Amino acid sequence: MRCPFCHYEDSKVLDSRPTEDGRAIRRRRECLRCHRRFTSYERVEEVPIWVVKKDGRREAFERRKILKGLLTACEKRPVSLESLEAVVDRVERKIRDQAQGEVPTRLIGDFVMQELRELDEVAYVRFASVYRQFTDIQGFRQELERLIESHHEKSRGD
């Protein structure tokens, strides 16, 4: 593994541990020349998933796009980056478990909404307002009412 600092081509592994529910291995490494430490990840190369957009276009699935949307929804909220990366991991796992090579954007958005609803209700509403493309206050209000009703059902223990 090439050192990201001095570009020397050899390093030693200091520690290895599974991450992403065993789907990847995180390795702490040390460069044999400059002795700086860095982290690498080893993942199984998966079959590519194609995302089918609303207009019918297809593009390769990219985890970073989900993370970017989550970061925007959670801006100035008490949600850690680690929590958001775990959400992306779960969403990707659901996509790979259900997809047959292609997945509609609607399904990805639904998975993200399910996760955000449990993680942070304000971020959920922010994401929903963009994802569902509310055209007026009534659509926004209906989504809030659904969230409030769900919250009441949880607090009653239903």
pLDDT in tens, the chain (158 residues): 999 999 999 999 999 999 877 778 999 999 999 999 999 999 877 788 999 998 999 999 999 999 999 999 999 999 999 999 999 999 998 998 886 789 999 999 999 999 998 999 899 888 888 877 777 778 778 878 887 887 777 777 65
Domain count, the chain: 2
Domain check: are 59 and 118 in the same one?
yes
Gap between the Cα atoms of 14 and 37, Å rounded: 9
Q: Is 4 part of a structural domain of the chain? A: no
> What is residue 149's predicted lDDT score, i.e. its pLDDT?
83
pLDDT of residue 141: 82
Instruction: Identify whether residues 39 and 54 lie together within a single domain.
Output: no
Q: Do 55 and 128 sit in the same domain of this protein?
A: yes
* Residues 67 and 39 occupy one common structural domain: no
Q: Kindly report whether the global pTM for this prediction surpasses the value 0.75.
A: no
Contact between residue 70 and residue 116 where contact means Cβ atoms under 8 Å apart? yes
If asked whether residues 39 and 78 sit together in one domain, one would say no
Q: Is residue 5 part of a domain?
A: no
Residues 125 and 78 grouped into a single domain: yes
Q: Which residue has the tokens 């001095």?
A: 6
Question: Is residue 1 assigned to a domain?
Answer: no
Q: Are residues 28 and 58 in the same domain?
A: no
Residue 15, pLDDT score: 96
Same domain, 83 and 34: no
Which range of residues forms the domain containing residue 15? Answer: 11-43
Same domain, 33 and 83: no
Angle at the Cα of 26 from the Cα atoms of 21 and 28, rounded to 5 degrees: 155
* Tokens 């609303």 found at: 54
Residue 38, classed as helix, strand or coil, is: strand
pLDDT at 158: 55
Residues 33 and 59 in one domain: no
- How far is residue 147 from each of residues 125, 137, 152, 153, measured CA to CA in Å? 9, 15, 9, 10
Q: Do 27 and 73 share a domain, yes or no? A: no
Do 74 and 127 fall into the same domain? yes
